[in-house]
Amino acid sequence: MSKEDDYMDFVLKQAECLGKLFILDSGEGNDFLDTDTGWYVEDLSGWLIKPEDKESLLKSIDMGRAYDEYSSSYVFAFWSKSNNSDIEITFNAPPIIP
């Protein structure tokens, strides 16, 4: 398993702590190589959904309709460092651009 997989596993576990499932769409930059963990981290975007909605979302992605049908579940997963230098993940809805 690569260090990138370890970081993604960490993000998925943070979603699970909220009772949700995170389905990755893309990386969003803010890249950083964390020397403590060896992880290459970056902000991510994707869908934060109830686990029971997984199959429906995946079908919607395959059909090219996920951005419309699941827009209210689309989030950014921002990483930050805590006071004790641990990586933390915060899930936030993207800003609405007029």
Reply yes or no on whether the pLDDT at 18 is more than 90: yes
Please indicate, yes or no, whether the overall pTM of this predicted structure exceeds 0.85: yes
In a domain, residue 64? The reply is yes
Q: Is residue 9 domain-resident?
A: yes
Is 98 among the domain residues?
no
For residue 4, is pLDDT > 90?
Answer: no
% residues pLDDT > 70 (the chain): 92
85 falls within a domain: yes
Residue 20 lies in a domain: yes
Please state, in angstroms and rounded to a whole number, the distance separating the CA atoms of residues 41 and 31. Answer: 6
Total tally of structural domains belonging to the chain: 1
Query: What is the domain extent for residue 82?
Result: 3-92
What is the DSSP secondary-structure string of 39-66?
Answer: -EE--EEEEEE-GGGHHHHHHHHHTT-H
Over range 8-19, report the average pLDDT: 96
Q: Do the domain assignments include residue 97?
A: no
Residues 24-65: tens digit of each pLDDT: 999 999 999 999 999 999 999 999 999 999 999 999 999 999
Domain assignment present for 84: yes
